[in-house]
Amino acid sequence: MTAAAPRAAVRSDRSRPDGSRQWSRTLMGWLEWLAHPVLAGAAFAVLSLGVVTWLPALAATAHTLRAWRADGETRTFTGVFRAFGTYLRPLLPHAVASTAGLTLLAVDIAFLVGRTGGVALVLVLLALGLLLVAVPYHVALAVVAGTYPAGTASAWAREALWFAFGSVSRGTALLGAVVATPVFSLVIPAGPLLLFASVPVLVGLVILDQTGSPDQTTPDQTEDA
């Protein structure tokens, strides 16, 4: 009895460090899944100060987060800046047009909300509908461009339309990620600012990995007509 008790105590002592290391690895894994989206989101926020640069910055964020998930690339903050140059020229015209269109929709909604009458209500609903369509489309565009950096802007746009609207569940998931992220990230200091862009594109990357391309021709292999 006296010999068995010390042996049991030794086994118990040896099990504690293993459990502690396992818990530590689990915690570090969770912190990594928070830290890299935060760093990528911070880089996106800096690059978006150019106003019309938000779409290339969003694609660069998607590209960097994909490299982190697929290849273990941990330089997510600087990675967004490095990838930004790849997307600035092809996506800048799209970004300018989208910025103008989204701004016009926002102004129309703000103007019509206080109005009464059936026509004003229809116009508000139409503007809100267009806004709800634009959100998942642009997230999908960034995800597709980030996944296929050698593609062209027109090929990215075609693939993004399929990705966002080819399935109700995909479009709903992308839209839900954009809406839910600012709410759930309030517990983190500056969370909505740092995670507003990175979490939706990260969700989109996961969905795209599980979905694949609609055919064997990826945007990398499609050229402009």
Residue holding tokens 């010390």?
6
Instruction: Determine the Cα–Cα distance for residues 88 and 221; give it in Å rounded to an integer.
Output: 20
Q: Residue 51: which region, alpha, beta or left (left: phi > 0; alpha: psi -120 to 50)?
A: left
Alpha-carbon gap, residue 134 to 217, rounded angstroms: 25
Each of the 225 residues of the chain gets a pLDDT tens digit; together they read: 454 544 444 444 444 445 556 655 555 555 677 889 999 999 999 999 999 999 999 999 999 999 998 888 889 999 999 999 999 999 999 999 999 999 998 888 888 877 777 888 888 889 889 999 999 999 999 999 999 999 999 999 999 999 999 999 999 999 999 999 999 888 888 888 999 999 999 999 999 998 865 543 455 554 443
> With contact defined as beta carbons under 8 Å apart, do 140 and 174 qualify?
yes
> What would you report as the CA-atom Rg of the chain, rounded to the nearest whole angstrom?
23
